[in-house]
Amino acid sequence: MIPTFTPYLEIPQLSRYRFDVVQIRSTPELIDDRLTYQFSSREIEKLRDSSIKAVFMVNPSNPSSSALKEETISKLVDIVENDNPELMILTDDVYGTFVPKFQSVFSVLPFNTACIYSFSKYFGATGWRLGTIALADENVFDAKLRNLPQAFIRELEIRYEVITKETTNFKFIDRLVADSREVALNHAAGLSTPQQVQMALFSLFSLLDEEESYKKKAQSICRYRQKLLYEELDLVMPFDHYDSAYYCEFDLLEWMKTHFGEQFGLDFQRETSITNFLVRLALEHGLVLLKGSGFGGSEWSVRISLANLETNDYKEIGRRIKKMVSDEFLKWQFERGQVK
């Protein structure tokens, strides 16, 4: 389901997996004149095809920061219950704590879902790789392992016999840990002791914060930064109910056309590329942004993180984008004799 975190686009393309990839793309949608990125019914209906074995999602998404609508989650439940009961769902919910009333697919389809979560974003510990995977006691992954053809079962017995002699009872989640270190180094798999201690402290902190004061503060900081940026760029604010406000993604070309005219935007698109624009933005204005196309977004979309800089810097980001585009617009007018 795209746009998504870049490695989730790249991993399925690796030859070792031999996957046939079907893309399910979200599109902009206005709710009460505010923006969200959602998956149309037509796109979600693709999952009724039982030849699709697994679906990968980031919820809320990266980079558009939108959580799945309740209607989409209900449709996923209907698809699993009626058409694709063995569908494997992998959901990365790392930004879920930034959405006030977040609902994970894991909560409604626990048998079919593996839920990935990282402490990194919520606690500002990016780079520490403090992640976890949650599975229900009974899950589709273990069920599929039990129903493998005998030849495959024997092959897996050989693979895991250095860990257990009862490989048929060796759970999928334990295999993930073993496979992360090529089985033979299973004793060194998992998180280091300092990482485990840090995760335990973060977890205890969250359990003790019964009023969720930290969560509310983190959410309010990101939303205020978003407000500063959007006001400076005169963008349509996202719909709060589904928005994590951790990232901002917008189509730079459409923004140019709206604020400087259709013809300027078309000419600018012909004369340069989003890559050249972003390189110049970095060199001339000291501002580094990421291309949304690297996440499966539109060619001219850009991503801005709302979690990394000082709050007032987000107004400055808007100013620098406007300054560069305004300079290009004046140059374009001068070349056409519209200004002297």
pLDDT in tens, 269-283: 999 999 999 999 999
Residue at which a domain ends, from 156, 173, 207: 207
Both 294 and 202 in a single domain? no
pLDDT at 186: 87
Q: The domain that contains 277 carries what CATH number?
A: 3.90.1150.10
Both 222 and 195 in a single domain? no
| Token reading at 338 | 């519209």
Both 174 and 219 in a single domain? no
What would the mean pLDDT of 232-255 be, rounded to a whole number? 95
Name the band, by pLDDT with cuts 50, 70 and 90, for residue 73: very high
pLDDT in tens, 288-321: 999 999 999 899 999 999 998 999 999 999 999 9
Both 200 and 263 in a single domain? no
Both 147 and 230 in a single domain? no
Q: What's the mean per-residue pLDDT of the chain?
A: 94
Residue at which a domain ends, from 207, 242, 275: 207
Which domain does 292 fall in, by range? 213-335
Both 61 and 178 in a single domain? yes
Q: Is residue 16 a part of any domain in this protein?
A: yes
Both 32 and 96 in a single domain? yes
Amino acid, res. 98: F
pLDDT at 166: 87
Cβ(101)–Cβ(14) below 8 Å: no
Cβ(233)–Cβ(318) below 8 Å: yes
pLDDT in tens, 110-124: 999 999 999 989 998
Instruction: Please report where in the chains the tokens 């693979």 appear, as a residue.
Output: 159
Residue at which a domain ends, from 207, 238, 256: 207
Q: Is residue 340 a part of any domain in this protein?
A: no
pLDDT at 340: 64
- pLDDT above 90 for 33: no
Cβ(38)–Cβ(68) below 8 Å: yes
pLDDT in tens, 142-164: 999 999 999 999 999 999 999 99
pLDDT in tens, 181-211: 889 888 888 888 999 999 999 999 999 999 9
Q: Is residue 1 a part of any domain in this protein?
A: no
Q: Is residue 43 a part of any domain in this protein?
A: yes
Both 153 and 262 in a single domain? no
Q: What is the pTM of this model?
A: 0.91
What would the mean pLDDT of 22-40 be, rounded to a whole number? 93
Name the band, by pLDDT with cuts 50, 70 and 90, for residue 104: very high
Both 145 and 250 in a single domain? no
Both 258 and 327 in a single domain? yes
pLDDT at 189: 86
The number of distinct structural domains making up the chain is: 2
Both 261 and 290 in a single domain? yes
Both 85 and 177 in a single domain? yes
Rounded to whole angstroms, how far apart are CA atoms 318 and 314?
7
Better pLDDT: 215 or 336: 215
> Which ranges of the chain does DSSP label H, i.e. alpha helix?
6-10, 41-44, 70-82, 105-108, 140-146, 150-160, 172-179, 193-208, 213-233, 252-260, 262-271, 274-285, 313-335
